[in-house]
Structure 1
Amino acid sequence: MDCYLSFHGNCEEALNFYAQCLGGKVTTLMRFEGSPMDGKELSPEWKKKVMHGTVEAEGAQIMGSDVPPGMGSVSGYNGITVSLWVKGGVDQARKAFDALAAGGQVKMPFAPPFWGGHFGMLTDKFGVPWMVSCE
């Protein structure tokens, strides 16, 4: 799984949350401060925000950044869902599902679907929709 997510200024918090939920670690955290975007148009509070960050977990990457005001919008995650296939079995998948759901909203409980395996859907506390599945 590789995906790139945009945030309203809480990217670092989200990446740390995903690292914790998925048993991974934040491997890259570049800030706007000192970058070519660090200038008059960037407010002081945005200098410490994340220009690019990466979480690595079980060979997968989740990348993200904060989107400064005037550089585009983050109006929600419509039309996409992050799909997480957990190779470690049902217990590990349920643990990841429950961790990602903390503070969010379960859309479909993690359970055996008619097609086999286990599957669940949720929206995490950052508004990112997830599908978690395993054999």
Structure 2
Amino acid sequence: MNIYPYLNFDGQAEEAMTFYQSILGGEFEGGISYFGEAPGMEIPEEEKMRVMHISLKLSEGLKIMASDTSPSMGHVWIKGNHNYISINADSKAEGVRIFSGLAEGGKVEMDYQKTFWGAYFGSFEDKFGIGWMVNYDLQGGEE
């Protein structure tokens, strides 16, 4: 299992992450995903270039990940909700266990489910108000 900080921005994710890279070094993994590239999603023109996901790999096991909020999806950036702890589970079952346990008594934002990017993913605020994301990248042939 790996744990990474996950930052939310209100339209400045790409600028901020490029700035962090200029100071900390590292490489962007997998490029930058924008909301306008997501299949089957109706995104207003002014939100299409907002960052859906970006990951700055600083070293083995150390990353800073980020995204922009999407106002049309009901996301509101408020100072205090812009940090998550992101867990990359070692198996789908471990992801289910972690998600179910930490989300108990909290507020689920997105159920732990299969995504179009080839992973199981879910996000929630725990009963103490801390934001969490749980991800498991599917391995060859897994569903």
1:12 aligns to what? 14
2:70 aligns to what? 68
Once the two structures are TM-superposed, the CA of residue 81 in structure 1 deviates from its matched residue by 10
Mapping for residues 32-111 of structure 1, pairs under 5 Å: 32-36=35-39, 38-39=41-42, 42-59=43-60, 60-70=62-72, 71-77=74-80
**Structure 1 segments (4+ residues) deviating >6 Å:** none
Unaligned runs of 5+ in 2: 86-143
Alpha-carbon contact 1:5-1:64 (below 8 Å) kept? yes
Q: Deviations over 1:83-131 (max 9, x none)?
A: xxxxxxxxxxxxxxxxxxxxxxxxxxxxxxxxxxxxxxxxxxxxxxxxx
Instruction: Percent identity, please.
Output: 32
Give the AA of the match of 2:14.
E
1:88 aligns to what? none
Structure 1 residues 25, 35: CA separation in 2 closer, same or farther (over 3 Å shift)?
Answer: same
Alpha-carbon contact 1:51-1:65 (below 8 Å) kept? yes
SS of the residue 1:56 aligns to = strand
Alpha-carbon contact 2:33-2:51 (below 8 Å) kept? yes
Q: TM-score, normalised by structure 1?
A: 0.50
Q: TM-score, normalised by structure 2?
A: 0.48
Partner Cα separation in structure 1 for residue 35 and residue 67 of structure 2: 10
Give the AA of the match of 1:51.
M
Give the AA of the match of 2:26.
G
Q: Give 1 or 2 for the bigger CA radius of gyration.
A: 1
Partner Cα separation in structure 2 for residue 37 and residue 65 of structure 1: 19
Unaligned runs of 5+ in 1: 83-135
1:89 aligns to what? none
